[in-house]
Amino acid sequence: MLLDELSAVLDRPRFRKHLSEQDAHRFVEMIRELAEVVDDPLEGGDPITSDPDDDFVVALAEAVGADGLISGDLHLTTLRRRGLTVMTPRDLLNALTHDGTRPKRG
């Protein structure tokens, strides 16, 4: 479900200024090849987020024991859940560039 969602999001017209449709499809296929693909979590149960469409992302992260989620989705970035850190892409980049892992220039 997550790979299908990524593909659908990257197909949106607003992303054409950042990457071509062909590059978007290649990116999703690259992730599909490199990632450890697991079964989708079972649906149902108590709501997790204020958007039921986002619940599967949290359920998946928890099912695989992920340390966190990277998302720009407000329903996820405002989520407070024990054992799960949610960061925006900018937060992640800031953390990576301010903790000593900054890529060297030159």
Per-residue pLDDT at 105:
47
Place of tokens 């071509």: 20
For 6-88, list the strands marked E by DSSP. Answer: 68-70, 85-87
Identity (one letter) of the amino acid at 1? M
Determine the 3-state secondary structure of 60 from DSSP: helix
Q: Which residues of 59-95 are buried (b: 16+ CB within 10 A; e: fewer)?
A: bbbbeeeeeebebebebbeebeeeebebbeeeeeeee
Tens place of pLDDT for every residue, the chain, 106 residues? 889 988 999 999 998 898 999 999 999 999 999 988 888 888 777 778 888 888 889 999 988 988 889 998 888 988 888 888 999 989 988 888 876 555 544 4
Q: Which three-class secondary structure state does DSSP give residue 3?
A: helix
